[in-house]
Amino acid sequence: MSLLRLGVLVSGRGSNLQAIIDAGKKGEIPAEVVVVISDQPDAFALERARANNIPAIYIGFQDFSNKEKYEEKVAAVLKQYMVEIVCLAGYMRVLGVNMLEAFPNRIMNIHPALLPAFPGLHAQARAWEHGVRFSGCTVHFVDEEVDTGPIILQAVVPVLAEDTAETLAARILEQEHKIYPAAIRLFAQNRLRIQGRKVYIKN
């Protein structure tokens, strides 16, 4: 069986990118990362890609006249590498219509909260400050809003009495590294079906 071709968009250190790369190398997912694109020239995720002999490409947002032109370039590079699914791994830009139409129902994101609770930035700290008893992480398909797309998988992380925002975030991250590859595996196995707001997983 041919491997699913992944393109990963990053802005930072890329720990979820590393988890996906490692899962592919171990044969845990029938997929391989074929290109990594960052909007930040010094993102450590690009170093992770290079260390694994994966093309690492910086595309600067400021080099384009508008978001549409920028996303046209990103989509063109992804298609150049024959990417079949796009994974956002700490990518700090909201996708626009160009990207969504270029890869319909083929863009995934990981978010460090149990959506629909705590969308957006600093989700772990906001959950901790709010005093929730449980938090976690969510893999979802991307739509035109922020963290509102159909949910694929979630992992629950209890909030301990001695937790700080930082320790909670670290434990959530451990689960992110598990469920993101798991969601990719389901996609690669053609086991995900989107119906309205829900994602059904075929046995």
Residues taking part in catalysis: 111
The span from the CA of 4 to the CA of 79, in Å, is: 14
Give the C-alpha distances (Å, rounded to integers) separating 62 from 31, 38, 68, 102, 165. Answer: 32, 13, 12, 22, 33
The span from the CA of 188 to the CA of 178, in Å, is: 16
The span from the CA of 70 to the CA of 53, in Å, is: 25
Strand order in the sheet with 56-58: 56-58, 31-38, 4-10, 85-89, 107-111, 134-141, 151-158, 198-201, 192-195
